[in-house]
Structure 1
Amino acid sequence: MLVRAYLRASTREQDATRAKADLVRFANERDLRIAATYVENESGASLARPELFRLLSDCHPGDMLLVEQVDRLSRLNASDWERLKSEIQRIGVRVVALDLPTSWNQIAISEGDDIQRRMLDAVNGMMLDMLAALARKDYEDRRRRQRQGIEKAKGEGLYKGRPEDRERNTAIMQMLAKGQSWSAIVKATGCSRATLSKLAKRVKEGVKAKVAE
């Protein structure tokens, strides 16, 4: 059995490796060795997480996927969670989360004890479903409160939107001016294609202004 640690944060401004020490401590206390660590900054509400799926593709039946909290693994809607869970079950990966003590029992159980393993799988499957649903609800509640706050601020004339990252945007416009592809820029900077489209228009307008001069 190989232990593979998964660390995720939602944005590039957050430290995805924050919980690494906790995972290492948990493994050491149980005489486990973390064979590989997979880190990414992607939303838990999306299945577009290359590092998570690279982890799963590296796994063999019986390997352990170790996470700090279930919400690091999923803030997915019900259908996407079922897709991810089905892939985990297809491969035969054991999910162990620090915030799900029932999952810890999978570490000590012997391979030959099929009845106990099936019982644990049933209990952990139910608990994972419950925590994944709660994580999704928390995500949707926060998004709703955020929208309500923005609408209220707009109504009061106080909303000015997110401050522009001028340094990053200047660098992106320089990359666009040099002819770098959108895909390469998105990969290097993490900006959205919508932002990239706006900046591309600025670059074109700047070129037109220089020609007009």
Structure 2
Amino acid sequence: MASTMYGYARVSSREQNLDRQLDALRAFGVEDGAVYADKASGKDFERPAWHRLMGELRPGDVLAVKSIDRLGRDYAEILDVWRDVTKARGVFVVVLDMPVLDTREERDGITGVLIADIVLQLLSYVAQIERENIRQRQAEGIAAAKARGVSFGRPRKKRPANYQETREAFWGGRITRKEAAARCNIRTSLKKLGLGPLGAIS
């Protein structure tokens, strides 16, 4: 049975243009009728055209994309889909912007599938390290700012001048919660002012 060449293109929003990807797929030899395109976020694989494409693919077919990030923005998800397409479905994948990600060819006795897997694992590792480095830099920046006396979060509200008197009247049963809130000119729960069971504010 003859194999078919398919293309997949994606942009993240309806305002973005698919033309560059479509032109690249045509230049590679994918016919317009075999191109599936989504205008959807890369955060997951819940995309209508992608699911239709998965229903069409057969072993030996070729799937071309302009760049690896068209499959998604998270390498863990991309790796899962890559394995599903290449191994479970037996479909060849070609990433036009990265010729090394071409599972059709064998180079010096090494299959393109193996080479692509190694490259993707490396890219996934680099992306994970970069995420960890970003988190570490953020944590170090926060720690350094705190050491300089920079405070984070919303500033603590000052107690009203009549706080202690109102608190004693409330706990003494002479006024209700609603009356205590009105005296302190607040709308929030009295627990947040230390008038409720949680105790006094610091």
Which amino acid letter does the alignment assign opposite residue 126 of structure 1? Answer: I
Structure 1 residue 104: deviation in Å? 4.2
Q: Decide whether the 8 Å contact of 2:9 with 2:18 is kept in 1.
A: yes
C-alpha RMSD over aligned residues? 3.3
Query: Following the alignment from structure 1 to structure 2, what is the Cα–Cα distance between the partners of residues 139 and 48?
Result: 24
TM-score normalised per structure 1: 0.51
Query: Following the alignment from structure 1 to structure 2, what is the Cα–Cα distance between the partners of residues 12 and 34?
Result: 20
Structure 1 segments unaligned to the other structure (5+ residues): 110-114, 142-154, 156-213
Residue 53 of structure 2 is aligned to residue 55 of structure 1: yes
1:13 to 7, 15, 20: 15
Aligned residues: 131
Q: Percent identity?
A: 30
Q: State the structure with bigger RCO (CA 8 A, min sep 6), 1 or 2.
A: 1
- CA deviations 1:89-114 (Å, max 9, x no partner) are 2111111011211234726x6xxxxx
2:78 to 61, 81, 99: 81
Query: Following the alignment from structure 1 to structure 2, what is the Cα–Cα distance between the partners of residues 46 and 14?
Result: 18
TM-score normalised per structure 2: 0.53
- CA deviations 1:71-91 (Å, max 9, x no partner) are 11121252x334323321211
Instruction: Give 1 or 2 for the bigger CA radius of gyration.
Output: 2
- Partner residue, 2:65: 67
Structure 2 segments unaligned to the other structure (5+ residues): 135-152, 154-202
Distance 1:99 1:91, change over 3 A: same
Query: Following the alignment from structure 2 to structure 1, what is the Cα–Cα distance between the partners of residues 75 and 103?
Result: 27
Listed as ranges, the matches of 1:108-147 within 5 Å are: 116=109, 119-131=111-123
Query: Following the alignment from structure 1 to structure 2, what is the Cα–Cα distance between the partners of residues 136 and 11?
Result: 26
